[in-house]
Chain A
Amino acid sequence: MASVDVKWANVKGKLQHYGSNRTLESYRDLMLVLVQKELKVRYNNKVLGYLWSIANPLASALIYYVAFKVLMRVQIEDYPLVLISGVFPWQWFTNAVGSSTGLFVGNASIIKKVNFPKQVVPLSAGLNHLIHFMVSLPVILLFLFIFNESPTLSWLYGLPLLLSIQFVMVYGISLMIASINVFLRDLERLVGIILHFVFYVTPILYPLENLPPRFQDALYFNPVAPLMVSWRELILHGKIDLINILVSLGYALLFLGIGSWVYRKLSWKFAEVI
Protein backbone atom coordinates (compact mmCIF):
# COMPACT_ATOMS: atom_id res chain seq x y z
CA MET A 1 0.00 0.00 0.00
CA ALA A 2 2.52 2.50 -1.17
CA SER A 3 0.54 5.48 -2.30
CA VAL A 4 -2.43 5.72 -0.03
CA ASP A 5 -3.53 9.27 -0.30
CA VAL A 6 -6.21 10.22 2.16
CA LYS A 7 -7.40 13.16 0.13
CA TRP A 8 -9.44 10.80 -2.04
CA ALA A 9 -11.48 9.45 0.83
CA ASN A 10 -14.31 11.94 0.73
CA VAL A 11 -14.47 13.12 -2.83
CA LYS A 12 -16.91 11.76 -5.35
CA GLY A 13 -15.80 8.47 -6.86
CA LYS A 14 -13.53 8.64 -9.85
CA LEU A 15 -12.50 6.00 -12.33
CA GLN A 16 -9.48 6.49 -14.54
CA HIS A 17 -8.68 3.93 -17.19
CA TYR A 18 -5.55 4.41 -19.20
CA GLY A 19 -4.39 2.11 -21.92
CA SER A 20 -7.75 0.66 -22.79
CA ASN A 21 -6.69 1.54 -26.27
CA ARG A 22 -9.81 1.22 -28.35
CA THR A 23 -9.02 2.61 -31.74
CA LEU A 24 -11.44 3.64 -34.43
CA GLU A 25 -10.65 0.39 -36.17
CA SER A 26 -11.59 -1.65 -33.11
CA TYR A 27 -14.91 0.23 -32.80
CA ARG A 28 -15.64 -0.46 -36.45
CA ASP A 29 -14.71 -4.11 -36.11
CA LEU A 30 -16.86 -4.51 -33.01
CA MET A 31 -19.84 -3.15 -34.90
CA LEU A 32 -19.17 -5.21 -38.00
CA VAL A 33 -18.82 -8.42 -36.01
CA LEU A 34 -22.07 -7.74 -34.12
CA VAL A 35 -23.96 -7.00 -37.35
CA GLN A 36 -22.45 -10.06 -38.98
CA LYS A 37 -23.44 -12.20 -36.00
CA GLU A 38 -27.10 -11.24 -36.27
CA LEU A 39 -27.12 -11.62 -40.03
CA LYS A 40 -25.49 -15.00 -39.80
CA VAL A 41 -27.98 -16.20 -37.20
CA ARG A 42 -30.87 -14.95 -39.30
CA TYR A 43 -29.69 -15.86 -42.77
CA ASN A 44 -27.87 -19.05 -41.92
CA ASN A 45 -30.19 -20.77 -44.31
CA LYS A 46 -30.13 -18.13 -47.02
CA VAL A 47 -33.43 -18.81 -48.78
CA LEU A 48 -35.46 -19.36 -45.64
CA GLY A 49 -33.83 -16.42 -43.90
CA TYR A 50 -34.74 -14.13 -46.75
CA LEU A 51 -38.28 -15.47 -46.89
CA TRP A 52 -38.72 -14.79 -43.19
CA SER A 53 -37.66 -11.18 -43.48
CA ILE A 54 -40.29 -10.50 -46.18
CA ALA A 55 -42.95 -12.95 -45.01
CA ASN A 56 -43.96 -10.83 -42.05
CA PRO A 57 -44.77 -7.55 -43.85
CA LEU A 58 -46.28 -9.48 -46.78
CA ALA A 59 -48.54 -11.48 -44.51
CA SER A 60 -49.60 -8.32 -42.64
CA ALA A 61 -50.39 -6.57 -45.92
CA LEU A 62 -52.42 -9.57 -47.07
CA ILE A 63 -54.41 -9.68 -43.84
CA TYR A 64 -55.22 -5.96 -44.03
CA TYR A 65 -56.18 -6.36 -47.67
CA VAL A 66 -58.63 -9.14 -46.89
CA ALA A 67 -60.02 -7.32 -43.86
CA PHE A 68 -60.46 -3.89 -45.37
CA LYS A 69 -60.84 -4.40 -49.12
CA VAL A 70 -62.51 -7.78 -49.41
CA LEU A 71 -64.62 -7.76 -46.26
CA MET A 72 -65.22 -4.09 -45.43
CA ARG A 73 -64.98 -2.88 -49.06
CA VAL A 74 -63.21 0.42 -48.48
CA GLN A 75 -63.03 2.54 -51.61
CA ILE A 76 -59.34 3.29 -52.04
CA GLU A 77 -57.63 3.18 -55.40
CA ASP A 78 -54.76 0.68 -55.79
CA TYR A 79 -55.25 -0.42 -52.21
CA PRO A 80 -52.60 -3.19 -52.36
CA LEU A 81 -49.97 -0.60 -53.30
CA VAL A 82 -51.15 1.73 -50.54
CA LEU A 83 -50.76 -1.12 -48.08
CA ILE A 84 -47.36 -2.27 -49.32
CA SER A 85 -45.93 1.26 -49.28
CA GLY A 86 -47.16 1.76 -45.72
CA VAL A 87 -46.73 -1.62 -44.10
CA PHE A 88 -43.14 -2.33 -45.18
CA PRO A 89 -41.54 0.82 -43.67
CA TRP A 90 -43.79 0.49 -40.62
CA GLN A 91 -42.71 -3.11 -40.06
CA TRP A 92 -39.11 -1.94 -40.01
CA PHE A 93 -39.96 0.69 -37.42
CA THR A 94 -42.15 -1.48 -35.21
CA ASN A 95 -39.85 -4.52 -35.30
CA ALA A 96 -36.81 -2.45 -34.39
CA VAL A 97 -38.49 -0.44 -31.64
CA GLY A 98 -40.51 -3.38 -30.33
CA SER A 99 -37.41 -5.54 -29.88
CA SER A 100 -35.26 -2.76 -28.45
CA THR A 101 -36.31 -3.41 -24.84
CA GLY A 102 -34.14 -6.51 -24.68
CA LEU A 103 -30.99 -5.05 -26.22
CA PHE A 104 -29.10 -4.39 -22.97
CA VAL A 105 -30.97 -6.76 -20.67
CA GLY A 106 -30.31 -9.59 -23.12
CA ASN A 107 -26.57 -8.97 -22.96
CA ALA A 108 -26.42 -8.78 -19.17
CA SER A 109 -23.65 -11.35 -18.80
CA ILE A 110 -21.28 -9.31 -20.97
CA ILE A 111 -22.27 -5.88 -19.65
CA LYS A 112 -21.50 -7.04 -16.10
CA LYS A 113 -17.98 -8.09 -17.00
CA VAL A 114 -16.62 -6.10 -19.93
CA ASN A 115 -16.45 -2.37 -20.28
CA PHE A 116 -17.22 -1.88 -23.94
CA PRO A 117 -19.01 0.92 -25.77
CA LYS A 118 -22.50 -0.39 -25.22
CA GLN A 119 -24.12 1.93 -27.77
CA VAL A 120 -22.86 -0.43 -30.46
CA VAL A 121 -25.50 -2.94 -29.40
CA PRO A 122 -28.48 -0.74 -30.44
CA LEU A 123 -26.41 0.60 -33.31
CA SER A 124 -25.73 -2.82 -34.79
CA ALA A 125 -29.33 -3.88 -34.13
CA GLY A 126 -30.46 -0.76 -36.00
CA LEU A 127 -28.15 -1.59 -38.90
CA ASN A 128 -29.60 -5.07 -39.02
CA HIS A 129 -33.15 -3.84 -39.25
CA LEU A 130 -32.04 -1.41 -41.95
CA ILE A 131 -30.55 -4.29 -43.91
CA HIS A 132 -33.72 -6.37 -43.52
CA PHE A 133 -35.74 -3.50 -44.91
CA MET A 134 -33.37 -2.98 -47.81
CA VAL A 135 -33.51 -6.59 -48.88
CA SER A 136 -37.31 -6.32 -48.91
CA LEU A 137 -37.23 -3.36 -51.34
CA PRO A 138 -37.32 -5.65 -54.41
CA VAL A 139 -40.69 -6.92 -53.20
CA ILE A 140 -42.02 -3.35 -53.19
CA LEU A 141 -40.64 -2.91 -56.70
CA LEU A 142 -42.31 -6.10 -57.81
CA PHE A 143 -45.68 -4.80 -56.62
CA LEU A 144 -45.11 -1.50 -58.40
CA PHE A 145 -44.48 -3.32 -61.66
CA ILE A 146 -47.54 -5.54 -61.18
CA PHE A 147 -49.65 -2.38 -60.94
CA ASN A 148 -47.93 -0.87 -63.96
CA GLU A 149 -46.00 1.72 -62.03
CA SER A 150 -42.26 2.14 -61.87
CA PRO A 151 -39.78 3.91 -59.62
CA THR A 152 -38.76 7.40 -60.62
CA LEU A 153 -35.41 9.13 -60.63
CA SER A 154 -36.30 10.81 -57.34
CA TRP A 155 -35.70 7.43 -55.67
CA LEU A 156 -32.00 8.03 -56.20
CA TYR A 157 -31.89 10.72 -53.53
CA GLY A 158 -35.24 10.11 -51.84
CA LEU A 159 -34.41 6.54 -50.82
CA PRO A 160 -31.08 7.23 -49.09
CA LEU A 161 -32.64 10.27 -47.42
CA LEU A 162 -35.60 8.41 -45.94
CA LEU A 163 -33.45 5.38 -45.06
CA SER A 164 -31.05 7.61 -43.09
CA ILE A 165 -33.80 9.55 -41.32
CA GLN A 166 -35.59 6.41 -40.23
CA PHE A 167 -32.33 4.75 -39.20
CA VAL A 168 -31.40 7.69 -36.98
CA MET A 169 -34.89 7.81 -35.49
CA VAL A 170 -34.95 4.07 -34.80
CA TYR A 171 -31.48 4.20 -33.23
CA GLY A 172 -32.40 7.11 -30.95
CA ILE A 173 -35.62 5.50 -29.76
CA SER A 174 -33.95 2.09 -29.29
CA LEU A 175 -31.12 3.59 -27.27
CA MET A 176 -33.61 5.34 -25.01
CA ILE A 177 -35.93 2.34 -24.55
CA ALA A 178 -33.11 -0.18 -24.09
CA SER A 179 -31.50 2.02 -21.40
CA ILE A 180 -34.69 2.67 -19.46
CA ASN A 181 -35.74 -0.97 -19.69
CA VAL A 182 -32.70 -1.97 -17.64
CA PHE A 183 -34.33 -0.24 -14.68
CA LEU A 184 -38.03 -0.55 -15.46
CA ARG A 185 -38.45 -4.01 -16.85
CA ASP A 186 -42.15 -3.79 -17.69
CA LEU A 187 -41.48 -1.07 -20.24
CA GLU A 188 -41.77 -3.83 -22.84
CA ARG A 189 -45.53 -4.07 -22.37
CA LEU A 190 -45.98 -0.31 -22.51
CA VAL A 191 -43.96 -0.12 -25.73
CA GLY A 192 -46.19 -2.77 -27.27
CA ILE A 193 -49.32 -0.81 -26.43
CA ILE A 194 -47.91 2.48 -27.68
CA LEU A 195 -46.76 0.95 -30.97
CA HIS A 196 -50.22 -0.52 -31.48
CA PHE A 197 -51.79 2.87 -30.88
CA VAL A 198 -49.36 4.72 -33.14
CA PHE A 199 -49.99 2.19 -35.90
CA TYR A 200 -53.63 3.22 -36.15
CA VAL A 201 -53.17 6.99 -35.85
CA THR A 202 -50.51 6.95 -38.57
CA PRO A 203 -51.57 6.82 -42.23
CA ILE A 204 -50.47 3.26 -42.88
CA LEU A 205 -53.70 1.40 -43.58
CA TYR A 206 -55.22 4.49 -45.19
CA PRO A 207 -53.76 7.27 -47.32
CA LEU A 208 -53.35 10.73 -45.82
CA GLU A 209 -55.96 12.20 -48.17
CA ASN A 210 -58.69 10.10 -46.56
CA LEU A 211 -58.36 12.00 -43.31
CA PRO A 212 -60.43 15.12 -42.58
CA PRO A 213 -58.20 18.22 -43.02
CA ARG A 214 -58.03 19.11 -39.33
CA PHE A 215 -56.63 15.66 -38.54
CA GLN A 216 -54.10 15.99 -41.34
CA ASP A 217 -52.46 18.94 -39.61
CA ALA A 218 -52.52 17.17 -36.27
CA LEU A 219 -50.32 14.46 -37.76
CA TYR A 220 -47.29 16.68 -37.30
CA PHE A 221 -47.56 15.88 -33.59
CA ASN A 222 -47.10 12.20 -34.40
CA PRO A 223 -43.34 11.68 -34.81
CA VAL A 224 -43.72 8.76 -37.21
CA ALA A 225 -46.50 10.13 -39.40
CA PRO A 226 -44.53 12.58 -41.58
CA LEU A 227 -41.97 9.85 -42.20
CA MET A 228 -44.54 7.22 -43.15
CA VAL A 229 -46.34 9.72 -45.37
CA SER A 230 -43.02 10.49 -47.05
CA TRP A 231 -42.39 6.81 -47.74
CA ARG A 232 -45.76 6.44 -49.45
CA GLU A 233 -45.34 9.65 -51.44
CA LEU A 234 -41.96 8.48 -52.66
CA ILE A 235 -42.95 4.91 -53.46
CA LEU A 236 -46.29 5.66 -55.13
CA HIS A 237 -45.73 9.06 -56.69
CA GLY A 238 -41.98 9.60 -56.67
CA LYS A 239 -42.51 12.81 -54.72
CA ILE A 240 -40.50 14.29 -51.87
CA ASP A 241 -42.27 16.84 -49.68
CA LEU A 242 -39.74 19.11 -48.07
CA ILE A 243 -41.86 19.95 -45.00
CA ASN A 244 -42.46 16.27 -44.19
CA ILE A 245 -38.76 15.55 -44.63
CA LEU A 246 -37.71 18.39 -42.37
CA VAL A 247 -40.22 17.49 -39.67
CA SER A 248 -39.14 13.81 -39.79
CA LEU A 249 -35.50 14.81 -39.63
CA GLY A 250 -36.28 17.07 -36.67
CA TYR A 251 -37.98 14.23 -34.81
CA ALA A 252 -35.14 11.84 -35.69
CA LEU A 253 -32.53 14.22 -34.29
CA LEU A 254 -34.68 14.91 -31.24
CA PHE A 255 -34.91 11.19 -30.48
CA LEU A 256 -31.19 10.79 -31.11
CA GLY A 257 -30.57 13.57 -28.60
CA ILE A 258 -32.93 12.18 -25.98
CA GLY A 259 -31.63 8.64 -26.48
CA SER A 260 -27.99 9.69 -26.13
CA TRP A 261 -28.77 11.77 -23.07
CA VAL A 262 -30.69 8.97 -21.33
CA TYR A 263 -27.95 6.50 -22.21
CA ARG A 264 -25.23 8.78 -20.87
CA LYS A 265 -27.12 9.30 -17.62
CA LEU A 266 -27.93 5.64 -17.04
CA SER A 267 -25.18 3.55 -18.63
CA TRP A 268 -22.91 3.75 -15.58
CA LYS A 269 -25.55 2.04 -13.49
CA PHE A 270 -26.22 -0.81 -15.93
CA ALA A 271 -23.80 -3.25 -14.32
CA GLU A 272 -25.30 -2.59 -10.88
CA VAL A 273 -28.84 -3.56 -11.71
CA ILE A 274 -28.70 -5.77 -14.76
Chain B
Amino acid sequence: MREPVREPVISFQNVSKSYAFYKQISGIKNFAFNLHRSLASIRNAQYEALRDISFDVYKGENFGIIGHNGAGKSTALGLIAGVLEPTRGRVVVRGRISPLLALGAGFHQELTGRENIILNGVLMGLTRREIMTKVDEIIDFAELGEFIDSPIRVYSRGMLARLGFAVVASLDPEILLIDEILGVGDIRFQKKCQEKMLNFKESGVTLLLVTHSIASIAKLCDRVLWIEDHVVKMIGDPYEIAEQYCKAAGVEVDLGTPTQGTLSTTSL
Protein backbone atom coordinates (compact mmCIF):
# COMPACT_ATOMS: atom_id res chain seq x y z
CA MET B 1 0.00 0.00 0.00
CA ARG B 2 1.21 3.44 -0.82
CA GLU B 3 1.59 5.94 1.93
CA PRO B 4 -0.69 8.93 1.57
CA VAL B 5 1.08 12.00 0.25
CA ARG B 6 2.08 14.05 3.25
CA GLU B 7 1.88 17.76 2.97
CA PRO B 8 4.71 19.60 4.70
CA VAL B 9 3.70 22.01 7.48
CA ILE B 10 6.84 24.02 6.88
CA SER B 11 8.33 24.30 3.44
CA PHE B 12 11.39 26.31 2.38
CA GLN B 13 11.80 26.53 -1.37
CA ASN B 14 15.09 28.02 -2.55
CA VAL B 15 14.97 30.59 0.22
CA SER B 16 17.59 33.31 0.44
CA LYS B 17 17.62 36.05 3.03
CA SER B 18 19.81 39.13 2.92
CA TYR B 19 19.96 41.95 5.40
CA ALA B 20 20.92 45.51 4.69
CA PHE B 21 23.57 46.91 6.98
CA TYR B 22 21.74 49.58 8.86
CA LYS B 23 24.74 50.87 10.71
CA GLN B 24 25.07 54.04 8.64
CA ILE B 25 21.58 55.17 9.49
CA SER B 26 21.84 54.94 13.25
CA GLY B 27 20.06 58.27 13.57
CA ILE B 28 18.39 61.13 11.73
CA LYS B 29 21.47 63.27 12.13
CA ASN B 30 23.76 60.77 10.42
CA PHE B 31 21.13 59.88 7.88
CA ALA B 32 20.54 63.47 6.83
CA PHE B 33 24.19 64.47 6.70
CA ASN B 34 25.22 61.39 4.71
CA LEU B 35 22.02 61.03 2.74
CA HIS B 36 23.68 59.84 -0.43
CA ARG B 37 25.92 57.34 1.27
CA SER B 38 23.13 56.13 3.55
CA LEU B 39 20.81 55.33 0.68
CA ALA B 40 23.58 53.62 -1.24
CA SER B 41 24.48 51.51 1.77
CA ILE B 42 20.91 50.27 2.17
CA ARG B 43 20.85 49.20 -1.46
CA ASN B 44 24.30 47.75 -1.83
CA ALA B 45 25.77 46.55 1.44
CA GLN B 46 23.82 43.35 1.90
CA TYR B 47 24.64 40.58 4.29
CA GLU B 48 23.48 37.19 3.13
CA ALA B 49 22.30 35.13 6.08
CA LEU B 50 20.77 32.24 4.10
CA ARG B 51 21.50 31.19 0.55
CA ASP B 52 19.20 28.98 -1.49
CA ILE B 53 17.89 26.87 1.38
CA SER B 54 15.30 24.19 0.69
CA PHE B 55 13.74 21.75 3.13
CA ASP B 56 10.36 20.43 4.25
CA VAL B 57 9.13 19.64 7.74
CA TYR B 58 6.16 17.31 8.13
CA LYS B 59 3.40 17.24 10.70
CA GLY B 60 4.39 15.65 13.97
CA GLU B 61 8.10 15.69 13.25
CA ASN B 62 10.73 16.73 15.75
CA PHE B 63 13.02 18.71 13.51
CA GLY B 64 16.38 20.02 14.67
CA ILE B 65 18.53 22.77 13.24
CA ILE B 66 22.22 22.95 14.10
CA GLY B 67 25.06 25.12 12.94
CA HIS B 68 27.78 27.37 14.23
CA ASN B 69 27.15 30.83 15.59
CA GLY B 70 26.13 33.15 12.78
CA ALA B 71 25.42 30.33 10.34
CA GLY B 72 21.84 31.47 9.84
CA LYS B 73 19.82 29.36 12.30
CA SER B 74 18.03 32.24 13.92
CA THR B 75 17.23 33.72 10.53
CA ALA B 76 15.61 30.45 9.53
CA LEU B 77 13.59 30.50 12.74
CA GLY B 78 12.55 34.11 12.12
CA LEU B 79 11.34 33.18 8.64
CA ILE B 80 9.26 30.32 10.04
CA ALA B 81 7.84 32.53 12.77
CA GLY B 82 6.82 35.01 10.09
CA VAL B 83 8.68 37.98 11.51
CA LEU B 84 11.13 38.04 8.59
CA GLU B 85 10.36 38.02 4.90
CA PRO B 86 12.57 36.01 2.51
CA THR B 87 14.55 38.01 -0.04
CA ARG B 88 14.18 35.27 -2.65
CA GLY B 89 12.37 31.97 -2.69
CA ARG B 90 9.24 30.89 -0.90
CA VAL B 91 8.40 29.99 2.69
CA VAL B 92 5.13 28.20 3.32
CA VAL B 93 3.86 27.52 6.84
CA ARG B 94 0.63 25.67 7.60
CA GLY B 95 -0.41 25.89 11.22
CA ARG B 96 -0.24 28.14 14.21
CA ILE B 97 3.26 29.01 15.37
CA SER B 98 4.05 29.00 19.08
CA PRO B 99 7.49 30.43 19.73
CA LEU B 100 9.10 29.70 23.06
CA LEU B 101 10.15 33.19 23.99
CA ALA B 102 13.59 33.87 25.37
CA LEU B 103 13.68 34.27 29.12
CA GLY B 104 11.27 36.93 30.18
CA ALA B 105 10.49 38.25 26.68
CA GLY B 106 6.79 38.74 26.29
CA PHE B 107 6.44 38.75 30.02
CA HIS B 108 5.78 41.97 31.83
CA GLN B 109 7.76 42.42 35.01
CA GLU B 110 4.99 43.98 37.07
CA LEU B 111 2.30 41.47 36.17
CA THR B 112 1.81 38.22 38.04
CA GLY B 113 2.63 34.85 36.54
CA ARG B 114 -1.07 34.21 35.97
CA GLU B 115 -1.54 37.50 34.12
CA ASN B 116 1.56 36.82 32.06
CA ILE B 117 0.14 33.49 30.94
CA ILE B 118 -2.81 35.36 29.45
CA LEU B 119 -0.60 38.06 27.94
CA ASN B 120 1.55 35.44 26.22
CA GLY B 121 -1.44 33.51 25.00
CA VAL B 122 -3.11 36.49 23.32
CA LEU B 123 0.20 37.48 21.73
CA MET B 124 0.28 34.07 20.07
CA GLY B 125 -3.18 34.62 18.70
CA LEU B 126 -5.38 32.72 21.14
CA THR B 127 -8.52 34.19 22.64
CA ARG B 128 -8.89 34.71 26.35
CA ARG B 129 -11.58 32.06 26.51
CA GLU B 130 -9.21 29.48 25.03
CA ILE B 131 -6.47 30.46 27.45
CA MET B 132 -8.69 30.41 30.53
CA THR B 133 -9.52 26.74 29.96
CA LYS B 134 -5.79 25.92 30.08
CA VAL B 135 -4.60 28.19 32.87
CA ASP B 136 -4.82 25.56 35.61
CA GLU B 137 -2.94 23.04 33.51
CA ILE B 138 -0.18 25.58 32.85
CA ILE B 139 0.13 26.53 36.50
CA ASP B 140 0.27 22.85 37.39
CA PHE B 141 2.99 22.12 34.87
CA ALA B 142 5.11 25.15 35.79
CA GLU B 143 5.11 24.09 39.46
CA LEU B 144 5.34 27.65 40.68
CA GLY B 145 3.12 27.19 43.72
CA GLU B 146 1.99 30.40 45.32
CA PHE B 147 4.48 32.39 43.24
CA ILE B 148 1.98 32.26 40.39
CA ASP B 149 0.24 35.29 41.90
CA SER B 150 3.42 37.28 42.50
CA PRO B 151 4.82 39.74 39.96
CA ILE B 152 7.39 37.95 37.84
CA ARG B 153 10.15 40.40 38.72
CA VAL B 154 10.64 38.32 41.86
CA TYR B 155 11.01 35.07 39.86
CA SER B 156 14.31 33.31 39.46
CA ARG B 157 15.62 32.48 35.99
CA GLY B 158 14.59 28.88 36.45
CA MET B 159 11.05 29.86 37.38
CA LEU B 160 10.79 32.10 34.33
CA ALA B 161 11.97 29.28 32.10
CA ARG B 162 9.42 26.91 33.63
CA LEU B 163 6.61 29.40 33.14
CA GLY B 164 7.67 30.08 29.56
CA PHE B 165 7.82 26.44 28.60
CA ALA B 166 4.57 25.62 30.38
CA VAL B 167 2.77 28.35 28.45
CA VAL B 168 3.85 27.32 24.94
CA ALA B 169 3.62 23.62 25.67
CA SER B 170 0.08 23.81 26.99
CA LEU B 171 -1.61 26.34 24.74
CA ASP B 172 -2.44 23.86 21.95
CA PRO B 173 0.69 24.42 19.90
CA GLU B 174 0.65 23.26 16.30
CA ILE B 175 4.20 24.23 15.42
CA LEU B 176 6.46 24.85 18.39
CA LEU B 177 9.66 26.84 17.90
CA ILE B 178 12.33 26.42 20.54
CA ASP B 179 15.50 28.46 20.32
CA GLU B 180 18.08 27.24 22.74
CA ILE B 181 16.58 28.24 26.04
CA LEU B 182 15.94 25.13 28.04
CA GLY B 183 19.22 24.86 29.87
CA VAL B 184 17.96 26.75 32.89
CA GLY B 185 15.49 24.60 34.77
CA ASP B 186 16.69 21.96 37.21
CA ILE B 187 17.29 18.47 35.88
CA ARG B 188 13.93 17.21 37.04
CA PHE B 189 12.13 19.93 35.09
CA GLN B 190 14.38 19.35 32.09
CA LYS B 191 13.32 15.73 32.09
CA LYS B 192 9.70 16.81 32.29
CA CYS B 193 10.23 19.07 29.27
CA GLN B 194 11.86 16.24 27.32
CA GLU B 195 8.95 13.94 28.08
CA LYS B 196 6.50 16.61 27.00
CA MET B 197 8.39 17.14 23.77
CA LEU B 198 8.45 13.43 23.00
CA ASN B 199 4.70 13.34 23.68
CA PHE B 200 4.13 16.05 21.12
CA LYS B 201 4.81 13.57 18.39
CA GLU B 202 1.78 11.50 19.34
CA SER B 203 -0.49 14.50 19.45
CA GLY B 204 0.69 15.69 16.03
CA VAL B 205 2.58 18.74 17.23
CA THR B 206 5.51 19.71 15.05
CA LEU B 207 8.59 20.68 17.01
CA LEU B 208 11.40 22.81 15.70
CA LEU B 209 14.45 22.83 17.88
CA VAL B 210 17.39 25.13 17.29
CA THR B 211 20.25 24.31 19.59
CA HIS B 212 23.95 23.88 20.13
CA SER B 213 23.37 20.88 22.32
CA ILE B 214 24.28 17.88 20.20
CA ALA B 215 22.94 15.56 22.86
CA SER B 216 19.40 16.92 22.75
CA ILE B 217 19.45 16.94 18.96
CA ALA B 218 20.33 13.28 18.96
CA LYS B 219 17.80 12.39 21.65
CA LEU B 220 14.79 14.41 20.60
CA CYS B 221 14.90 14.86 16.86
CA ASP B 222 13.72 12.68 14.00
CA ARG B 223 15.56 14.67 11.40
CA VAL B 224 18.18 17.37 11.52
CA LEU B 225 19.18 20.23 9.25
CA TRP B 226 22.78 21.36 9.44
CA ILE B 227 23.34 24.89 8.21
CA GLU B 228 26.90 25.91 7.55
CA ASP B 229 28.05 29.17 6.00
CA HIS B 230 24.44 30.07 5.18
CA VAL B 231 23.75 26.99 3.03
CA VAL B 232 22.44 23.51 3.77
CA LYS B 233 25.38 21.29 4.65
CA MET B 234 23.44 18.13 5.47
CA ILE B 235 19.91 17.08 6.19
CA GLY B 236 18.74 13.78 7.58
CA ASP B 237 19.49 11.32 10.38
CA PRO B 238 20.31 13.02 13.71
CA TYR B 239 23.05 10.60 14.76
CA GLU B 240 24.87 10.72 11.48
CA ILE B 241 24.73 14.49 11.34
CA ALA B 242 25.68 14.89 14.98
CA GLU B 243 28.72 12.73 14.38
CA GLN B 244 29.76 14.65 11.25
CA TYR B 245 29.09 17.95 12.95
CA CYS B 246 31.28 17.10 15.91
CA LYS B 247 34.00 15.85 13.62
CA ALA B 248 33.87 19.07 11.61
CA ALA B 249 34.07 21.12 14.79
CA GLY B 250 36.92 19.00 16.10
CA VAL B 251 35.06 18.15 19.28
CA GLU B 252 34.39 14.66 20.54
CA VAL B 253 30.99 14.00 22.04
CA ASP B 254 29.76 10.63 23.17
CA LEU B 255 26.21 10.22 21.97
CA GLY B 256 25.67 6.65 22.98
CA THR B 257 24.06 4.33 20.50
CA PRO B 258 20.97 4.99 18.41
CA THR B 259 19.19 2.06 20.04
CA GLN B 260 19.47 3.58 23.48
CA GLY B 261 15.81 4.07 24.29
CA THR B 262 15.85 5.55 27.75
CA LEU B 263 15.70 9.21 28.44
CA SER B 264 18.74 10.71 29.97
CA THR B 265 18.25 13.73 32.13
CA THR B 266 21.42 15.48 31.19
CA SER B 267 22.30 18.41 29.02
CA LEU B 268 19.17 19.41 27.25
Name A residues whose Cβ lies closer than 8 Å to a Cβ of B: 1-6, 8-23, 25-26, 29-30, 32-34, 37, 40-41, 44, 109-116, 183-187, 190, 268, 270-273
Contacts and interface: CB of A to CB of B under 8 A. Distances in A.
B34 interface: no
A6 B235 contact: no
A56 B105 CA distance: 31
B93 A17 contact: yes
Given A1-B235, A8-B90, A21 B83 contact: no
Residue among A4, A6, A44, A272 facing the most chain B CB atoms (10 A cut-off): A272
16 contacts: A3-B8, A5-B13, A6-B14, A12-B88, A16-B90, A19-B95, A20-B82, A20-B93, A30-B125, A32-B128, A110-B106, A113-B106, A115-B81, A116-B123, A268-B85, A270-B83
Contacts of A8: 13-14, 88-90
Query: Which label, helix, strand, loop or mixed, suits the secondary structure of the B interface?
Result: mixed
B120 to A, nearest CB: 9
Contacts of A184: 25, 27-28, 31
B141 to A, nearest CB: 21
Nearest to A13: B86
A86 to B, nearest CB: 30
A182 to B, nearest CB: 10
Interface string B9-45: 0010111110110100111110100000000000000
Given A25-B129, A40-B111, 10 more contacts: A1-B55, A8-B90, A11-B89, A13-B16, A16-B92, A19-B96, A113-B179, A115-B81, A184-B28, A185-B27
Nearest to B131: A29
A108 B55 CA distance: 29
B99 interface: yes
Contacts of A16: 90-93
A115 B20 CA distance: 21
B78 A271 contact: yes
The 10 closest A-B pairs by CB, nearest first: A13-B86, A109-B105, A115-B82, A186-B27, A9-B14, A271-B83, A30-B122, A8-B13, A29-B128, A22-B125
